[in-house]
């Protein structure tokens, strides 16, 4: 689905603590600098890579629509009336990407893939066995942030904190602006982890997928099907650019309605990726929306081919924390 060819060759020293070896450990006065756009790519030798994203300048705020968690007995439930946050990914400006860029900050208990380049002979990503990443927020007093994450950043078939560790380790370590050197000499351990979680939520709250679709009459249903074009047009109009819309389930040409046809798209709505470029640091969320890079969907294009299923009733709770 996502092109990685050639991406890993751009990463030197995957186990290193720095994406750029010459990066200063002094304070970075980003507020005094003119914000630069993250794409087209910036030359890190000519700009402060703590003040403009010079590594993964194409930002993807990703959301999932799951109908169950697989951990209902542990009280891990989905929020009523909202899609769940999946992550905030830093792709290269051409749409390719890399992963697990700093193994000194590897907090993923189930690395996927288990090597930095996804190949059998690549650098291994060792499973994390320490305190879960949610505990990193406690010394900063971010209990409200932790509560929000446990409401809207929900994993499937895995505990929430393990999933957050995956998202940080695989993706956040590949931002130049979340490098520990960017925090200067007064850096506190795990400060960038807290910043990444706050930033991912900031982007998530700006794109209320459930609300936008509902207002257009597109609501979860086990009886009514929808058209990809209506979903795309609704979300594009609200976000300002065409997102990637992902589907799973049976291919349309294997269903009774699409039998023997040529539409091989999938028929169950499951995810949306919103694309942006950032002016200055992604943390500041000064962005411009851009169309999805490459394919914009794997969903069936036929009229009325998409299921947007209701969630399992026992898997949902009404949030006590506002979206």
Catalytic residues: 86, 167, 171
Question: Is the separation of the CB atoms in 52 and 35 below 8 Å?
Answer: yes
CA separation for the pair 121, 123 (Å, rounded): 7
Report H helices in 20-129.
none
Task: Identify the three-state secondary structure at position 146.
Answer: helix
Cα separation values, 84 from 6, 47, 163, 221, 286, Å? 31, 35, 13, 18, 23
Partners of 248 in the β-ladder:
268
Measure CA 122 to chain center. Answer: 24
DSSP letter for 120, please: T
Which residue, 184, 188, 191, 180, is CA-closest to 26?
A: 184
């Amino acid at each position: 689905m996502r092109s990685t060819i050639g991406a890993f060759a751009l990463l030197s020293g995957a186990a290193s603590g720095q994406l750029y070896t010459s990066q200063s450990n002094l304070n970075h006065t980003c507020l005094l600098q003119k914000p630069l756009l993250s794409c087209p790519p910036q030359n890190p030798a000519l700009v402060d890579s703590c003040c403009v994203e010079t590594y993964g300048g194409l930002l993807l705020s990703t959301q999932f629509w799951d109908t169950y968690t697989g951990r209902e007995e542990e009280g891990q439930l989905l929020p009523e009336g909202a899609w769940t946050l999946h992550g905030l990914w830093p792709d290269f400006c051409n749409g390719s990407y890399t992963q697990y860029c700093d193994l000194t900050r590897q907090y993923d208990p189930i690395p996927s893939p288990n090597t930095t380049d996804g190949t059998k002979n690549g650098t291994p990503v060792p499973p994390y066995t320490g305190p879960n990443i949610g505990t990193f927020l406690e010394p900063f007093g971010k209990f409200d942030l932790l509560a929000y994450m446990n409401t809207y950043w929900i994993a499937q078939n895995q505990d929430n904190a393990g999933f957050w560790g995956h998202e940080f380790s695989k993706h956040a370590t590949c931002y130049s602006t979340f490098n520990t050197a960017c925090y200067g000499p007064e850096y506190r351990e795990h400060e960038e982890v807290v910043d990444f979680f706050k930033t991912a939520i900031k982007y998530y709250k700006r794109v209320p997928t459930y609300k936008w679709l509902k207002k257009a009459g597109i609501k979860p249903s086990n009886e009514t099907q929808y058209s990809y074009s209506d979903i795309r047009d609704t979300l594009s109009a609200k976000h300002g650019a065409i997102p990637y819309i992902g589907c799973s389930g049976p291919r349309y040409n294997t269903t009774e309605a699409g039998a023997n046809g040529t539409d091989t798209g999938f028929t169950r709505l499951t995810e949306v990726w919103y694309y942006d470029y950032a002016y200055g640091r992604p943390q500041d969320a000064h962005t411009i929306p851009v169309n999805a890079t490459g394919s914009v969907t794997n969903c069936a294009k036929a009229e009325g081919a998409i299921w947007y299923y209701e969630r399992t009733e026992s898997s949902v709770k009404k949030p006590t924390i506002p979206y």
